[in-house]
Chain A
Amino acid sequence: MSFESMAVLQEPYLSWLLQGLSLTFALFIFSWTTAFVLGFLLLLLRMSPIKVIAWIPATYIELARNIPLLVQIMFWYFAVPMLLPDFLQQALNRGDSGFVLAGLALGFCMAAYFSESFRSGVRSINNTQLEASRALGFSFLRTMQYIVFPQALRATIPLIMNNTLLLFKNTSIAMAIGVHELMYQVLSINNDTFRTFEIFFVATLVFLFFSVLIMIAGEFAERWAKKSRRISDA
């Protein structure tokens, strides 16, 4: 196993890698958006004063956080299509069902983590703020919009960045159901060239590069959050 030439970075392998990378990003953005929106909805449901409604998201969050992501992805890929009506199954099969289902699985799983991060942000706001704004005549939603969320955001952003990193790394698990993302392409190139060390080295660097970007962004967000809090306290 020699390391003298970067044969794995020549055509056609370079375009395989780039295809994988673009699919990883598509998966990342798709599932991140799903997780963010769904996480927010879960939070709203969980803050409901009606106990039964608040229990539903709580149960879902425990399920999503205590079942391995791979199992969830497999459940979405193998089991969920069986539960869908026929026309939806056909629509799935016409498109890239692996990509869509893996993206949904990732999004639905990470929504639980996102929701917990949002919630710890909301809980960091003192209850008196809520009472004060209700006393001033803000409705519940307006209280959330103007009082709670802007402040909660600061406590939440570092946690969300951490979840984002987790989500980015976990997109690679989609290869288990045959989504042609970066990890899958790396294994194909490895099977084709047997230049194991080189291709793994390159791919690890690529993953590390983006992970470090997310970590640095998280670091900045944390500093910004601390700074803006200090100003508001003064």
Chain B
Amino acid sequence: MLEIINDYWLFFLIGQYPNGPIGGLAGTLLLATICLILALPCSILIAIGRTGKNRFWRGVTFVIVYVMRGTPFLMIIFWAHFLGPLVFGTSIGAFWVMVIALVLYESAYLGEVIRAGIQSLPYGQTEAAKAMGFPRTKTMTLIVLPQVMYNSFPALLSQFVSIIKETSLGFVIGVHEFTYAASQVNSILLVKPVEIYAILGLTFFIVCFTFTSAARWLERKIGKSQGVLPA
């Protein structure tokens, strides 16, 4: 096992990078981070639509969320894989196909996280803002959202763990990420699948568990600061 790490650690870490696309663990984290940055604004819009008064937008966002929650992520990856080139008129590469699929899928889930945050915020906040003469957009951007983002930060962090785990599915369309790197090493060595997949799994565990623990710690901390006892 140590021998494999010794021989292939750079490949596991960054893939073929200067000679090819960035891959390996770096590719996975890059993919997850880009997805989070792009999906966050979309999910805020979805959450506002879901909690808003406008019936049309409430319906639209409801359908988006339920379609995304009811469809396997692989299906969305393949939709993006086959329709992406048609929409953009040119091949956009597996990496960006995966970004699109992840953003579509995760916006719905992150949207539900933020919606829960908006709904758990005491309504008095909105009423007070209204009483002080804030217009609706300013109430949202200056009063509601900052508190919601702060309160749901732990939940967003655990959703980031889900994103990291989901990037591994990019393997099926050939995205250069960590799982792909491991399966390449596996097809070079052929006889060491136990060690290679153990390295793969344990590395994923270390990365994801760090974020999971951070999310739990923050949850306790944020809960305490508001005088709420940790569950």
Contacts and interface: CB of A to CB of B under 8 A. Distances in A.
Contacts of B172: 175-176
B72 A170 contact: yes
A68 B186 CA distance: 18
A82 B183 CA distance: 16
Interface residues of B, number: 37
Contacts of A83: 194
B70 interface: yes
A70 B70 contact: no
A183 interface: yes
A208 B82 contact: no
Size class of the A contact interface (CB-based, 8 Å): 35 or more
B196 to A, nearest CB: 8
Interface stretch (A8-16, A49-57, A96-104, A196-204): A196-204
Interface stretch (A71-79, A126-134, A149-157, A220-228): A71-79
Given A187-B78, A208-B67, A212-B70, A71 B194 contact: no
A62 B74 contact: no
Contact of B205 (A63, A70, A175, A183): A63
B73 interface: yes
Contacts of A147: none
B193 A183 contact: no
Q: Which 10 A-B pairs have the closest CB atoms?
A: A211-B70, A68-B168, A66-B208, A78-B193, A68-B165, A172-B72, A79-B194, A169-B72, A75-B197, A70-B168
Given A71-B204, A74-B197, A78-B193, 19 more contacts: A62-B209, A65-B212, A66-B208, A67-B201, A67-B208, A68-B167, A68-B169, A69-B165, A71-B200, A169-B71, A169-B72, A176-B171, A187-B78, A200-B82, A204-B75, A207-B70, A208-B67, A212-B66, A215-B69
13 contacts: A67-B204, A70-B168, A74-B183, A75-B201, A79-B194, A169-B71, A176-B169, A183-B72, A183-B75, A187-B78, A204-B71, A211-B71, A215-B70
